[in-house]
Amino acid sequence: MASTTQACLLLQKQLRDLCKRPVDGFSAGLVDESNVFEWSVSIIGPPDTLYDGGFFNAIMSFPPNYPNSPPSVRFTSDMWHPNVYPDGRVCISILHPPGEDPNGYELASERWTPVHTVESIVLSIISMLSSPNDESPANIEAAKEWREKRDEFKKKVSRCVRKSQEML
């Protein structure tokens, strides 16, 4: 119970900080005012990338023991990217549980640590959009296209960008 209260206070503080000092490239707020553990995040496609001009929505769900465990992030907008599962879940190192990687792909230092904030998580996702990691993909088809059929990959991303603009 105490950890849930701590998580709640920390998330309220991070939300206040983001409202006071918005960060370029994204906005965040609560899905429902009564639940500080579910956030709605809107990410603007980074300039000079394939995602430029897109407005992508995601849900960030925090565990009761945050910040000791990472949140999960799932795009609710269509997203074609090697590091996004077909169901929209984001797969980046900092969202993986702390400690050693049982698969040996990541260093413990690349994984979740309690110093991460909503801001650092979303900035990592924006960075992921700018430079996909096709070494350990969540979406194998997208990674394969990224490597072997870049034109096809670009077309699919363009469709996602256009669709995200139509949803505004």
Question: Catalytic residue numbers?
Answer: 91
Sorted by sequence, the CB contacts under 8 Å of residue 75 that are 6+ apart come out as 56, 57, 58, 84, 88, 89, 90
Q: Is 103 exposed, middle or buried (0-12, 13-18, 19+ CB in 10 A)?
A: exposed
CB 145 within 8 A of CB 156: yes
Give backbone dihedrals phi and psi of 94, rounded to 5 degrees, phi first. Answer: -70, -10
DSSP 8-state code for residue 108: G
